[in-house]
A and B are shown apart, each in its own frame.
Chain A
């Protein structure tokens, strides 16, 4: 199976994720989009790992999965606090750090 298939799929997933991160207003959906981007990267890592016969790509992917789990944990906690404080998951309202 040519590696291009995986790369195109990963690029599609990554762009979907990037669009979601920038365009979505709901914080939960933004987090999910981040997840999508991470998984696109994972796909790339695994694909190249198989293609180049080098296991370190898969090791990286495992790391990414672990850290993604932690990130979601913290991210959801932040979203929860934002919701509690602003009564809405809308990210456009979170601009208190304006310089």
Chain B
């Protein structure tokens, strides 16, 4: 199977054509074709992963192990026996076209990174396909929806298995087109088609940088081939200035696709698409294409940004800024999907920052775990809107759904804890590895940013969960649990969010993920952190405190508002007061005289501290964060970034209007212009040659 990964993009592409042309005549309107093809891809991906793992493990153990499992592994193992686990990637290709000495190859590549991405893409895609049968039931363009999902899967897989940057670029753009189609799926409403356009054009802006980067790489390494570009970037003859230009240009592509500051504005708007699409494209697969690109040509960034030898660089800074901005914005959203969208931006920031500080494996590990828990959160939000609020995502219409939708609640909770990085959920392991690597690479500033981000993540997710599942139901419908087509994918994703982290549990000496991922051929020397108990404890403690404080804050707010719940709050105070009182009752028995004097004041003082200082701090922190979030949203996001984008659009349109006057429609005028131009060119050539 390792030699025929070309099947991955081809079969879903065929499924796209079948659904498009015959879908409406099929009994399930094309959904069965999509599910079958993606299901087959999922099984193939499992086979590929199993064979890859087998190859890596055998190579690692040297010659004495059975080598006959695969033809290729014999060679790899023979090489590997000298220098540890050296597994060569499997590359196939044929010449597409040739122009002089430059050859353009179409090919596939299998290595640890590709195998990991294949698993992520096919798993999430399969679950989303199944989920959509219920969620999109009776949709006006059900068949086209499935066709677009198939095309999306095909293009993402094409992007992943590409052996060269030109082919990767094709997949990248196709992914963008599919995203456009799916965000604008309900294009009859103007905001939806606007959101689709915005997503497409914003990512295209970044793509200009990507194209420049690819071209620079081509002229630097004289090839589009990823392996050769990486080898060039790592070799001593590499031109550092050239690599810096390439890295900055490629960085723009990553910023566009992966929603990094300042090209992130499209991602929240992209929530206009159907929720399964948000889960598939805008959380788990498409937006990580940028991170994938960063990991794919990592040596270019490594060389260009001097990762490992400098204390900060553009990649890490962009990631860090994105973490904080995304998390701050998530506080002020009323739309549950927008909270998750900003959370996605913030988490993508983690991945990019991790790449920037040299935590290559950790970044991809976070990509891996994030895909599962973020897909789970999005699908959970979809389940709520489908079954509880009648297609609304406004959290003001939710609340109290904990009892009504137990499966959705529990899966959402697990994914939230994973996102908040609580032990032992998946997010804990990956986030912690990023922080540990950053800490050991002299990137202290970024460790602090990561910790602050973790606190904010925990707090806004608590707010989201509280408003959705706790308190009283504020909507006007009849919430009930969703059907199995929705809950089964949720449960599967929740289990993955719980367990995926254990693939790389460093304190238990499990480093499977790293072992399987890292043989990609041509990587710089990576930092492999030892487990940092201090950092892990701090981050979990901070996150837990943030959850507690936020929960408390919300609880207080709801209680003082129109909702009841006073008894709960005063019961807590009562319990504390009674506890104090009892203790002093014992004391009173022994030292009645002294205690009688201080009992009242101390109790009153601690009550005062409790009411004014602690509550005040909690309230002030909450209010301050909200204000920062509002400022970022209003001024930076809306005015600066959106304003610039709008102005560019207006100018282009005006320029187009001016040019249109040339198009008179009169053939003979065109002939005149043609002849005059030929005359002018002739004159110019004459002057240049003769004078």
**Chain A residues in 8 Å Cβ range of B661:** 99
Residue of B nearest to A18 (CB): B675
**Chain A residues in 8 Å Cβ range of B671:** 21-22
Q: Which A69-99 residues have C-beta < 8 A from chain B?
A: 91-92, 94-99
Assess whether B664 is in contact with A22, with CB atoms less than 8 Å apart: no
**Chain A residues in 8 Å Cβ range of B662:** 99
Q: Mark B661-686, 1 if CB is under 8 A from A, else 0.
A: 11111111001100100000000000
**Chain A residues in 8 Å Cβ range of B664:** 95, 98-99
Q: Which B620-668 residues have C-beta < 8 A from chain A?
A: 660-668
* Of A23, A91, A99, the contact of B667 (CB 8 Å cutoff): A91
Complex Cα distance, B672 from A50, in Å, reads 33
Assess whether A99 is in contact with B675, with CB atoms less than 8 Å apart: no
Assess whether A91 is in contact with B665, with CB atoms less than 8 Å apart: no
Assess whether B665 is in contact with A22, with CB atoms less than 8 Å apart: no
Complex Cα distance, B656 from A77, in Å, reads 34
Assess whether B667 is in contact with A94, with CB atoms less than 8 Å apart: yes
Assess whether A22 is in contact with B663, with CB atoms less than 8 Å apart: no
Complex Cα distance, B662 from A98, in Å, reads 9
Assess whether A99 is in contact with B668, with CB atoms less than 8 Å apart: no
> In the complex, how many angstroms separate the beta carbon of A38 from the nearest chain B beta carbon?
14
Assess whether A95 is in contact with B666, with CB atoms less than 8 Å apart: yes
**Chain B residues in 8 Å Cβ range of A18:** 675
**Chain B residues in 8 Å Cβ range of A30:** 668
Assess whether A97 is in contact with B668, with CB atoms less than 8 Å apart: no
Q: A91-B667, A94-B667 are in contact. Are A22 and B675 (CB under 8 A)?
A: yes
**Chain B residues in 8 Å Cβ range of A96:** 665
Residue of A nearest to B659 (CB): A99
Assess whether B660 is in contact with A21, with CB atoms less than 8 Å apart: no
Assess whether B668 is in contact with A21, with CB atoms less than 8 Å apart: yes
Residue of A nearest to B663 (CB): A99
* Of B663, B672, B675, the contact of A97 (CB 8 Å cutoff): B663
Q: Which B48-73 residues have C-beta < 8 A from chain A?
A: none
Complex Cα distance, B661 from A93, in Å, reads 18
Assess whether B672 is in contact with A98, with CB atoms less than 8 Å apart: no
Assess whether A22 is in contact with B668, with CB atoms less than 8 Å apart: yes
> In the complex, how many angstroms separate the beta carbon of B347 from the nearest chain A beta carbon?
47
> In the complex, how many angstroms separate the beta carbon of A88 from the nearest chain B beta carbon?
15
**Chain B residues in 8 Å Cβ range of A22:** 668, 671-672, 675
Q: Which A1-60 residues have C-beta < 8 A from chain B?
A: 18, 21-23, 30
> In the complex, how many angstroms separate the beta carbon of A74 from the nearest chain B beta carbon?
14
**Chain B residues in 8 Å Cβ range of A91:** 666-668
> In the complex, how many angstroms separate the beta carbon of A17 from the nearest chain B beta carbon?
11
Residue of A nearest to B666 (CB): A95
Residue of B nearest to A93 (CB): B666
> In the complex, how many angstroms separate the beta carbon of A77 from the nearest chain B beta carbon?
16
Residue of A nearest to B668 (CB): A22
Assess whether A95 is in contact with B665, with CB atoms less than 8 Å apart: yes
Complex Cα distance, B668 from A99, in Å, reads 15
**Chain B residues in 8 Å Cβ range of A98:** 663-666
Complex Cα distance, B667 from A96, in Å, reads 11
Complex Cα distance, B674 from A18, in Å, reads 11
Complex Cα distance, B676 from A18, in Å, reads 11
**Chain B residues in 8 Å Cβ range of A23:** 668
Complex Cα distance, B672 from A18, in Å, reads 9
Complex Cα distance, B671 from A95, in Å, reads 14
**Chain A residues in 8 Å Cβ range of B667:** 91, 94
Residue of B nearest to A30 (CB): B668
**Chain B residues in 8 Å Cβ range of A99:** 660-665
> In the complex, how many angstroms separate the beta carbon of B667 from the nearest chain A beta carbon?
6
Which of A18, A91, A92, A99 gathers the greatest number of chain B CB atoms within 10 Å? Answer: A99
> In the complex, how many angstroms separate the beta carbon of A94 from the nearest chain B beta carbon?
7
Assess whether B666 is in contact with A92, with CB atoms less than 8 Å apart: yes
Residue of B nearest to A34 (CB): B671
**Chain B residues in 8 Å Cβ range of A92:** 666, 668
Complex Cα distance, B669 from A94, in Å, reads 12
**Chain A residues in 8 Å Cβ range of B665:** 94-99
Complex Cα distance, B672 from A22, in Å, reads 7
Complex Cα distance, B666 from A22, in Å, reads 11
Residue of B nearest to A21 (CB): B671
**Chain B residues in 8 Å Cβ range of A95:** 664-666
> In the complex, how many angstroms separate the beta carbon of B668 from the nearest chain A beta carbon?
5
Complex Cα distance, B35 from A63, in Å, reads 56
**Chain B residues in 8 Å Cβ range of A97:** 663, 665
> In the complex, how many angstroms separate the beta carbon of B181 from the nearest chain A beta carbon?
29
> In the complex, how many angstroms separate the beta carbon of B672 from the nearest chain A beta carbon?
5
**Chain B residues in 8 Å Cβ range of A21:** 668, 671
Complex Cα distance, B664 from A99, in Å, reads 6
Residue of B nearest to A24 (CB): B668
Q: Which B344-386 residues have C-beta < 8 A from chain A?
A: none
**Chain A residues in 8 Å Cβ range of B668:** 21-23, 30, 91-92
> In the complex, how many angstroms separate the beta carbon of A68 from the nearest chain B beta carbon?
17
**Chain A residues in 8 Å Cβ range of B672:** 22
**Chain B residues in 8 Å Cβ range of A94:** 665-667
Residue of A nearest to B657 (CB): A99
Complex Cα distance, B496 from A57, in Å, reads 74
Residue of A nearest to B669 (CB): A22
> In the complex, how many angstroms separate the beta carbon of A18 from the nearest chain B beta carbon?
6
Residue of A nearest to B667 (CB): A91
> In the complex, how many angstroms separate the beta carbon of A49 from the nearest chain B beta carbon?
22
**Chain A residues in 8 Å Cβ range of B663:** 97-99
Complex Cα distance, B663 from A11, in Å, reads 30
Residue of B nearest to A99 (CB): B663
Which of B660, B662, B667, B671 gathers the greatest number of chain A CB atoms within 10 Å? Answer: B667
Complex Cα distance, B665 from A74, in Å, reads 20
> In the complex, how many angstroms separate the beta carbon of B675 from the nearest chain A beta carbon?
6
> In the complex, how many angstroms separate the beta carbon of B669 from the nearest chain A beta carbon?
9
Residue of B nearest to A95 (CB): B665
> In the complex, how many angstroms separate the beta carbon of A82 from the nearest chain B beta carbon?
10
> In the complex, how many angstroms separate the beta carbon of B243 from the nearest chain A beta carbon?
44
> In the complex, how many angstroms separate the beta carbon of B673 from the nearest chain A beta carbon?
10
Q: Mark B534-548, 1 if CB is under 8 A from A, else 0.
A: 000000000000000
A-B contacts, 13 listed (Cβ < 8 Å):
A21-B668, A21-B671, A22-B672, A22-B675, A91-B666, A91-B667, A94-B666, A94-B667, A95-B664, A95-B666, A96-B665, A98-B665, A98-B666
List residues of A whose CB falls within 8 A of some B CB: 18, 21-23, 30, 91-92, 94-99
List residues of B whose CB falls within 8 A of some A CB: 660-668, 671-672, 675
Q: Which 6 A-B pairs have the closest CB atoms?
A: A99-B663, A98-B665, A95-B665, A99-B660, A97-B665, A95-B666
Extra pairs beyond A21-B668, A22-B671, A97-B665 (16, CB < 8 Å): A18-B675, A22-B668, A22-B672, A22-B675, A23-B668, A30-B668, A91-B666, A92-B666, A94-B666, A95-B664, A95-B665, A95-B666, A97-B663, A98-B664, A99-B662, A99-B664
